Each structure stands twice: as structure tokens, then as C-alpha cells.
Amino acid sequence: MEDRFDHWRELIGRTHAPSDMTSEYAAEFWAEQRLLELGPVTVWPASFRPARFRRTARMVRQSDPELYHLSLVLGGGLGVDHAGQTAMHGPHDLYVVDTSLPYDARPPDDPDCRMITGVGVEFPKVLLPLSPNRVRELLGVRLSGREGTGALLTGFLTGLDRQSNSLQPSDGPRLGTVLLDLLSAWFAQVLDTEAALPPETRHRAMTEHIRAFIRQNLHDPELTPPTIAAAHHISLSYLHRLFQEEARGETVAAWIRSQRLEGARRDLTNPALHATPIHTIATRWGLRPSDFSRAFRASYGLPPKDFRLQTLAVRE
């Protein structure tokens, strides 16, 4: 078991800025981590027994990859000393460290904390279109992942983890660009420097906000381009222009329809919903039952009833 901790410590040293790792659970250590390479951005969902990570001034002098590291804590907690700040970070908190400065991240003094889960993100500092002096104001500070762009960033990162098995190599650069835009928008929102962002970054971040809003409201049959534009205080023409530029030419209405059909498809493959009437599933996703069968067949090649029977038969 102790060899397992040494092996994990070695792997972390290869993929991240060097730090000294210790754990009271070294003799019975357990960890799971994925590495998602999205262009210049690395995302690593992880779960591990409580451990401490210390990056000293000597380590900084020996090796500095010039990265910002953002952590989203999902379970357990981490106390962080960095850039003159000391804070304890719990579930749905975000914090940022700079690899050019020492830091000390430690588990909480809580005997009930047996596992820490979260998502880490690392990206070159030069890619953030904000002044390093302003970013320094956020280092080590406890920041919320529950509201505004922080909530959108949290949803995007947890969604990446859930979908990681289905991602194609060609998806990486595009997702990395979207993530960098969300990170830039989040930093700028917290620092109140949104005007400093390049227009294309603001546009792409706004498009992702709109996509998240649509996903959360797919059940509403009144979800239409005009209501979406009004909810985001933008003109209808600007909404359509954003989608033309950022959604590879797909219209807003077409994207809403595809998301609804995909939600219905997932429900039809769910054994727990095998007794739910098909018209109920259609209504749940904001689709008119009278149009559902034709639209579903056009997208997936089979009527919903046949699709459900075929899928559930394969699982049996």
C-alpha cells in the first residue's frame, strides 16, 4: 500500500508543478485521477485519501512551469496558505494558486474527512488576458462556485468529468478554448474587470452562459429565442449572431430541439423509466407529443417506441 502512495506521488510530480506530498494514510493510500488534455489546458478530476501538498521556494527556483492552477473542491476540504492568504476551502469552493509562488495545501483537521474529491485545472499564465497584478489579488482566496460565472465554471468542469469517456481527441482544442474563455470571464467577473476582456472572449463566454440557461430550462415549452434573449438582456439579433459565430452555424431553435431530443433519448434508454409513457417523456422535455415521433425518427432512425424496445432488449 505504501508503494502505492510513492507511485502516486511520482505521477503527480511528472504531470504537475513539483511539490512535496505527505499523507497520514500513506500505508493505506487510495487515489484516482484522470488527465484531460484540452489543448494548452489540463483538467484533472481526482479523488484521494487526505494528503498535504507543499511547494517550497526552493522548488519554485528549481522548476517553474509558469502556470495558474485552479481547484474546484467537491468533497472533503483543503486548507491553503498562498500569497499571504490562509483559507479553508470546502465543497463548491474554488481557489487559485500561482506556480511561481510557494503554497501549502493541507487536509482539514477533521477525523471524519476520509476522502477529498475535486477537479484541478492548469493553464499557462500568459493565456489569461488579465494583469498578473490583478490576478494576484485572488490567489489563495476562498471563492464561490455556486453563483454567477463561478457556477457555470463548476457545471462545465463536472460535466467534463462525466463525459470524459465519450470525448474524442478532436474535441480537446475546442473544449480548451471554451474553458479558457470561461476562466477568463470568471476571473474578470470576480475582479470587476470584464471590460478588459477581448470581445471574442466575452462573446464565447456569453454563448456558454446561454447554453447553460437553455439546458436548465429545456422542460419549459415556452423556451424560445425571444425569451432567451430577454433573460440575458440582449437583442434577438445579437443572440442569433452569437450562435452563428460560436455554434458552428446551428440556429438557436435547432440547438434547443437537439438538446430536448437527446434528453428524451436518454430517458428512453433508462430501464428505470421503462413504464413511463412516451408522451410523458416528450412533455417532460418540452416537446409536443404530436410532433415527437416524427422528430425523433428523423434524428435517430427509429420511432421512439421501437428505439426503446431495441435498446432495452440489448441491455437484457
Q: Which tens digits make up the pLDDT trace of 215-242?
A: 999 999 889 999 999 999 899 999 998 8
pLDDT(26) > 80:
yes
Whether the per-residue pLDDT at 58 is higher than 70: the answer is yes
Q: What is the mean pLDDT of residues 91-100?
A: 96
pLDDT class of 200 with cuts at 50, 70, 90: confident
- Over 60: is that where the pLDDT of 2 sits? no
> Which pLDDT value is given to residue 165?
76
The predicted model gives 244-261 an average pLDDT of: 84
Query: What's the pLDDT score for residue 316?
Result: 53
What's the confidence (pLDDT) of residue 315?
58
Query: Taking each helix axis from N to C terminus, what angle separates 199-216 and 171-191, rounded to the nearest 10 degrees?
Result: 100
How many CB atoms within 10 Å of residue 269? 16
Rounded to whole angstroms, the Cα distance separating 174 from 152 reads: 17
* Per-residue confidence (pLDDT) for residue 214, from 0 to 100: 93
The average pLDDT across 186-212 equals 89
Average pLDDT of the residues in 69-85: 95
Percent pLDDT > 70 in the chain is 97
Q: Using a pLDDT cut of 90, give the percent of the chain over it.
A: 64
Q: Are 91 and 75 in contact (CB under 8 A)?
A: yes
Average pLDDT, the chain: 90
* Separation of first and last alpha carbons in the chain: 38
Looking at residue 195, its pLDDT comes to 84
Would you say 183 and 129 are in contact if contact means Cβ atoms under 8 Å apart? no
